[in-house]
Chain A
């Protein structure tokens, strides 16, 4: 064969191979409790949405099992859906005038449905929503406020004897607000309760 024709054929072959490699589907492995958010660019997908913030021809998809993506047209992120523990040291004043300090553990998760996953990803970003430490910091004021507000109407006796009931009430009070953010509260656990007659002085454990 003529060397020039051979050279051109080789060049075209290499180009075709590189193109094929760059458009081949890539596997994204998902573990239990993870979701894949995939956006496929406009020209590649058909569905249209009523939501004006969604692309006219593009497609957002939430997938819960190992899937393939096309890196040249897809933008994708993995969100960790496993429950996250937010633990805070809280102190405050009860309605009988005594002071308390306690440790409160909130168990928060992202429900495994597409709407909630998208809502959380948009509200906090995937990186922040997947990190226990960041979610603990982000939710601190809202969660601590709920405990302090509820306990402001409780007595020391109620706090010592009815921790479980108070925890359940705090859990209920937070439910609707967290649902709006795409989150779900699973449990509130009040523990290590200490009562003080004055601020910072230990009275009983």
Chain B
């Protein structure tokens, strides 16, 4: 066998092995509380952005995949403000929520604010900080200082209502502790 044929043959075998590795479907493990976002060029079969809530196979050559943490988030803030009768207070608040568990809403939040922000607790905390503090202050402004400690449950439900939907399919739950008047 001449050298050129041998070299071309070897090259072809190496290229085939490389292609097979790239085209081989790989099982990506998705644990409970996670989702897999798969982006595939639209012109390819099964193309577009899809969400998987369970382990699935991806093709390295065509797919770009990211995991999204779907577990409950607990963002904590210190808030100060004034009650209806002018008393200044400080309170520690928690904004808890779970990312959407449906494909449509999860796709929407993966586009805006994006997977990077969703997986970064500090970025998420900054994203909702102003809304949470404003909602807490607005609700506290309507209550008298004496009544506030005994109305913890109403207070937190009202703050959650004022906040409304944080993102598509994301509904907040709030908790408040350590109320102090100055």
Contact = CB atoms under 8 A, between A and B. Distances in A.
Contact of B177 (A41, A93, A95, A148): A148
Interface size class of A (residues with CB under 8 A): 35 or more
A73 to B, nearest CB: 8
A10 interface: no
Interface stretch (A1-9, A17-25, A49-57, A190-198): A49-57
B74 A58 contact: no
A16 interface: no
B102 A52 contact: yes
A96 interface: no
Nearest to B35: A53
A92 B180 CA distance: 9
Determine the main DSSP class of A at the interface with B.
mixed
25 contacts: A37-B32, A41-B56, A53-B101, A55-B53, A58-B54, A75-B29, A75-B31, A75-B54, A75-B55, A77-B32, A121-B33, A125-B31, A125-B32, A126-B32, A126-B33, A128-B71, A138-B74, A141-B74, A141-B76, A141-B92, A141-B96, A142-B94, A142-B96, A142-B175, A152-B150
Interface of B: 27, 29-34, 53-56, 69-72, 74, 76, 92-94, 96, 98, 101-103, 149-150, 152-153, 156, 175-179
